[in-house]
Structure 1
Amino acid sequence: MIAAILLVILVGLIVVRVPVSFAIMASGLIGLLLLIGVRPTEGVLEVIPVTSVQSLSLSAIPLFILMAHFMLLSGMVDSLFDAGRTIFGRTPGGTGIASTMAGVGFSAVSGSSTAAAATLAKTTSGRMIDEGYRPTTATGIVASVGTLAGMIPPSIILVFYAVTAEASVGDLIIAGLVPGVIIAFALLLTMFIPILRDRSSVPRGVRSTWPAKLRASVQALPVLVIFGAVVGAIYFGLATPTESAAIGCLAALLLVVARRRFSWAGVVEAIVETVKSSAMIFAIVIAAHVFGYAFTETKAAQSLVSWVSGLAVPALVIMALITILYLFLGFVMDQVAIIALTVPIVLPLVETLGYDAVWFGVFVVLMGEIGLISPPLGLNVFVVARSAGRDTVEVFRGAAPYAAAMLAVAVLFVLWPEIVLWLPNSM
């Protein structure tokens, strides 16, 4: 009964737009006061806020965020987009391919879906529209490709999941690589379906010589080098995720200097934005631990696991229900909040069904990414609409086919979990 009251309070606070961390903390405090009283609650508040953020793995999050801001400062996204346009030249939909390539490249060194979507919207969607692409196509692909930053290493949200689920941060970072590539191909395939029906629906690009394509490829090399240094160090066990994040920060800063983009004002802005984002995430971590302690006291999670374990239905049926739950949550809540609130409750249930914690992390993040381009919240859609100066409904309409493609990939991962797990298992 108390568990239901806590969830109702939490949802109500979020609906009236109370900041997520405050909503979670308030619900947790009310639960603790009802369950254990004032004095024990004071003891919990003396311990949990400190211990919940003492995990060394959490230190990778601000470093990855800072690396992303340094990459933005370097202007590499423009270079990636220009390189893609040059390489694919006269290919039908070549500029769309270039936008996808730029999104994948930026995702590989940013880790933030929203930042990727905003940056790509400013640099690519307007140029696609100017070339003759339909606005729904241009903005829809950009909003969708931006979500890849949550999956392709190094992913901030996967690190956050690893800390929440007490799973290996290195395994989670590596596990996102293959699914990220598969999703990128699914998005490209979705874009090409209408092109195959009508080639005149998209303009052709400009033909480029092979020397020009070679020069464009060289321009994209710094991103590949930084990505290889960060992910390769983790995969081969040469560095921890935190150490790899530090390497990435240094490499990104050197790239800023090499491209003559360095300025103290830019560095200060990058640090300030990193502190803001990190503070938000850490606040949710603290609040989620308080809420989790209260929810554990209700014994609701244990009862749920016992009840589901006793159901005489196939595991796929239960996973289908869990998929629907996360799809709905993705429509109305932020990814960090979804993970903080649901993983401690749902993960034990998923493990009883025979699924792995690393696989579940990729699955949860993918479902959250679908929510980023789906109404009514659709944060990436609002970011792209604002950055590109387009109507929000137009962007939602353009992103709908890509959201469906991502959902199909999620179903694929449920049916064949080894697609996600084979690379981390080979570490």
Structure 2
Amino acid sequence: MSPTAVGLLGIFFLFFLMIFRTPVAFAMLLAGFFGMWVLQGLRTAGALMLTESYSAVASETLIVVPMFVLLGNIASAAGFSRGLYDAAFAWVGHFRGGLASASVLGCAAFSAVSGSSVATAVTIGKVALPEMKRLGYADGLATGAVAAGGTLGFLIPPSTGFVLYAILTEQSIGRLFMAGILPGLLLMVLFMLTVWLVALRKPDQAPAGPNVPIRQRFATLKQAGPLMAVMVLTIGGIYIGAFTPVEASGIGAALVILLALAGRKLNRAGFAAAVMDTLKTTAMLYMIVIGANVLNPFFAVTQIPALLGEGLQGLGLGPYGTLFAIIIAYVIMGMFMDGLSMLVISVPIVFPVITALGFDPIWFGVVAVIVVEMGMITPPVGLNVFVVRGVAGDVSLKTVFRGVMPFLFAMIVGLLLIILFPQIALIIPNTMFG
């Protein structure tokens, strides 16, 4: 049997395992191991498993994952996320649709410390959804704003999506973090514009909140100030070159812990729960990295990425036609797979094609992460939709999916703008790194 045929069987085996709910990390591990066993023998497959399992997690760059996850978990447990939402609500809540816009702003701010889409949606959803329900917001708009806003956690640095992409493609985590800032802000603005348009079209779905006195508005900024200072210090420190992303993650986590302890906002049980959640998330991500590092050499031996690149180029679609075909494939995958699974399975296959076409790898990282974000709110899987549905309680899944549709259209507009104007993603990293 030819290596290509074995590779195709390996892909089929991989998806077969995932269909039967095998965790994606172990599905990749098994497909890569048995594929190499068939092609190059048990000795080579065993050596690959041993060396890649160690080298995948021995890199110090992976430290950013547990540190930033811990930062977000401590911030959530200490109630700092409530301060972010209250500040956003005080400044924009009195506009029609203001609470939904405040939810988007809160998601964007919390994304800058959590790095996780699900954590962002859950944390802000627990605070924002009861408030919007109390003021009479339509369930679809309320849950749609939180589900869509939560996806910013996968794009605004520190993003676990960028960390995985950097490891899979050997790109700079710092450059990717910086590349995500303007696209993240662009999507935030587009989401808020979407809320405004929905409120304009159906005013009864998005009533205005109470007008907060100006003194109280500044008081809420003071409450949110400590966590906002940590955001500026960590991301700003990376930008000016004061410290690396790894150092920034450690400094940020330490500062949030100190702030929580100094303000007596964190008890022993809350701290233990935050650490345990961090360990669970880190173990999952590390296993995904190990699985990807075992699967990728198998793909390389089968020559499937090279053959795919030749096939796409042979279609004569041109660079942007090929990019469009890849994006469509991502959208289809997003209907059935979670974001991390999409990245680790697809990037090793499509990345050589992208670089051969002359596209900037940092720019494509932003494009890929945004398309993965779209998958988080696209039926039938839509991980963020299910998460927000769980937080909302009495809202049907159909209502949440209907509510996210305008925001999905806003994401498409944002993606098109970044494709048409690549400098939206590249101007900060190119200015910073030269």
Task: Report the TM range for the smaller structure's normalisation.
Answer: over 0.9
Residue identity matched to 2:223: Q
Work out which of the residue numbers 304, 318, 323 in structure 2 matches 1:319. Answer: 323
- Once residues 48 and 114 of structure 2 are traced to their aligned partners in structure 1, the CA distance between those partners, rounded to angstroms, is 35
- Once residues 283 and 400 of structure 2 are traced to their aligned partners in structure 1, the CA distance between those partners, rounded to angstroms, is 30
Map residues 256-271 of structure 1 onto 2, 5 A cutoff. Answer: 256-271=260-275
1:393 aligns with 2:398: yes
2:247 aligns with: 243
- Once residues 257 and 403 of structure 1 are traced to their aligned partners in structure 2, the CA distance between those partners, rounded to angstroms, is 39
Number of equivalenced pairs? 427
2:27 aligns with: 23
Q: TM-score, normalised by structure 2?
A: 0.95
Q: Which moved more, 1:345-354 or 1:142-151?
A: 345-354
Q: Tell me the secondary structure at the aligned position of residue 53 of structure 1.
A: helix
- Deviation string 1:274-324 (CA, Å, 9 cap, x unpaired) is 111111111111111111111111111122223334443321111110110
- Once residues 84 and 346 of structure 2 are traced to their aligned partners in structure 1, the CA distance between those partners, rounded to angstroms, is 37
1:222 aligns with 2:226: yes
Work out which of the residue numbers 279, 287, 292 in structure 2 matches 1:288. Answer: 292
Residue identity matched to 1:192: W
Q: Tell me the secondary structure at the aligned position of residue 96 of structure 2.
A: coil
1:109 aligns with 2:124: no
Q: Which moved more, 1:328-337 or 1:133-142?
A: 328-337
2:428 aligns with: 423
Residue identity matched to 1:204: A
Work out which of the residue numbers 325, 337, 343 in structure 2 matches 1:333. Answer: 337
Q: Tell me the secondary structure at the aligned position of residue 335 of structure 2.
A: helix
- Once residues 365 and 10 of structure 1 are traced to their aligned partners in structure 2, the CA distance between those partners, rounded to angstroms, is 22
Map residues 148-187 of structure 1 onto 2, 5 A cutoff. Answer: 148-187=152-191
Map residues 332-411 of structure 1 onto 2, 5 A cutoff. Answer: 332-389=336-393, 390-411=395-416
- Deviation string 1:62-90 (CA, Å, 9 cap, x unpaired) is 11111111111121221222222222243
1:199 aligns with: 203
1:2 aligns with: 6
- Once residues 154 and 41 of structure 1 are traced to their aligned partners in structure 2, the CA distance between those partners, rounded to angstroms, is 34
Q: Tell me the secondary structure at the aligned position of residue 376 of structure 1.
A: coil
Residue identity matched to 1:102: G
* 8 Å CA contact 2:33, 2:49 repeated in 1: no
Residue identity matched to 1:74: A
* 8 Å CA contact 1:73, 1:256 repeated in 2: no
* 8 Å CA contact 1:330, 1:370 repeated in 2: yes
Work out which of the residue numbers 65, 77, 82 in structure 2 matches 1:78. Answer: 82
* 8 Å CA contact 1:190, 1:401 repeated in 2: yes
Residue 421 of structure 1: CA displacement? 0.5
Identity in percent = 36
Residue identity matched to 1:422: I
Residue identity matched to 2:83: S
Residue 200 of structure 1: CA displacement? 3.9
- Residue ranges of structure 2 left out of the alignment (5+ in a row): none
- Once residues 285 and 214 of structure 1 are traced to their aligned partners in structure 2, the CA distance between those partners, rounded to angstroms, is 44
- Once residues 310 and 374 of structure 1 are traced to their aligned partners in structure 2, the CA distance between those partners, rounded to angstroms, is 31
Residue 325 of structure 1: CA displacement? 0.8
Residue 335 of structure 1: CA displacement? 1.8
- Once residues 336 and 319 of structure 2 are traced to their aligned partners in structure 1, the CA distance between those partners, rounded to angstroms, is 26
Residue identity matched to 2:129: S
- Once residues 8 and 418 of structure 1 are traced to their aligned partners in structure 2, the CA distance between those partners, rounded to angstroms, is 38
- Once residues 276 and 335 of structure 1 are traced to their aligned partners in structure 2, the CA distance between those partners, rounded to angstroms, is 18
* 8 Å CA contact 1:74, 1:255 repeated in 2: no
- Deviation string 1:187-208 (CA, Å, 9 cap, x unpaired) is 1111111222343442121122
- Residue ranges of structure 1 left out of the alignment (5+ in a row): none
Residue 210 of structure 1: CA displacement? 1.5
1:37 aligns with: 41
- Once residues 105 and 73 of structure 2 are traced to their aligned partners in structure 1, the CA distance between those partners, rounded to angstroms, is 19
Residue identity matched to 1:77: S
Residue identity matched to 1:143: A
Q: Which moved more, 1:149-158 or 1:301-310?
A: 301-310
Q: Tell me the secondary structure at the aligned position of residue 217 of structure 1.
A: helix
- Once residues 90 and 339 of structure 1 are traced to their aligned partners in structure 2, the CA distance between those partners, rounded to angstroms, is 40
Residue identity matched to 2:427: W
TM-align CA RMSD = 1.4
- Once residues 20 and 315 of structure 2 are traced to their aligned partners in structure 1, the CA distance between those partners, rounded to angstroms, is 36
